[in-house]
Amino acid sequence: MSDTANKAEMREVVSKVVAEVFDSMMSMEIEALDPDLPVSIEGDRVVGSVGFGGEEAGVVCLHVNEPFSRQMTAAMIGVELNEVNGDTDVNDAIGELTNMISGNIKSQLYDMVSSSALAVPSIMRGSHVAVESIRAAHREHFVFRHKGQFILLELYLKSK
């Protein structure tokens, strides 16, 4: 299969995985956008990241803004926005969502046979969060929208 076909398949699988996770866990419909469009996530960000190993090794980073991270948490655990219990609940929910996305991308795209390791999710917060890859890593990014809120997903793959 050509690199172009591989990339198209990868983009299709990743978009499907993210849409399924948002639908199943939060009943949120998301729309995949052209990743080359200039989209910015305003204000403080919450970024979940989970690394995976195996035949392909990489890291998945999920970026959303702080108010939307709270909406996502409320939708996930089925409570009102004002019932979300501070950063602890949000960190756990965003970490778990990132874990699901990472695990499903890995198992559907790169490693259907063996159960390779997933790292423990980690959370970063701040207004200027940027993930800079090492030179040996290849970056793909995906942009989604839910009711005016943007979701950025970065996939870093270590070159073979």
User: Which residues sit at the interface with another protein, rule CB under 8 A?
Assistant: 20-21, 24-25, 52, 73, 76-78, 89, 92-93, 95-96, 99-100, 102-104, 106-107, 111-116, 118, 120
Q: What is the closest distance, in whole angstroms, from the C-beta atom of residue 136 to another protein in the complex?
A: 23
Q: Looking at beta carbons only, is 65 or 102 nearer to another protein?
A: 102
Q: Looking at beta carbons only, is 92 or 135 nearer to another protein?
A: 92
> Is the alpha carbon torsion for 130, 131, 132, 138 positive or negative?
negative
Q: What is the closest distance, in whole angstroms, from the C-beta atom of residue 93 to another protein in the complex?
A: 5
* Euclidean distance between CA atoms 140 and 159, whole angstroms: 13
Q: What is the closest distance, in whole angstroms, from the C-beta atom of residue 86 to another protein in the complex?
A: 12
Q: What angle do CA 46, 61, 67 make, to 5 degrees?
A: 20
* Euclidean distance between CA atoms 90 and 111, whole angstroms: 29
Q: Looking at beta carbons only, is 30 or 93 nearer to another protein?
A: 93
* Euclidean distance between CA atoms 66 and 69, whole angstroms: 5
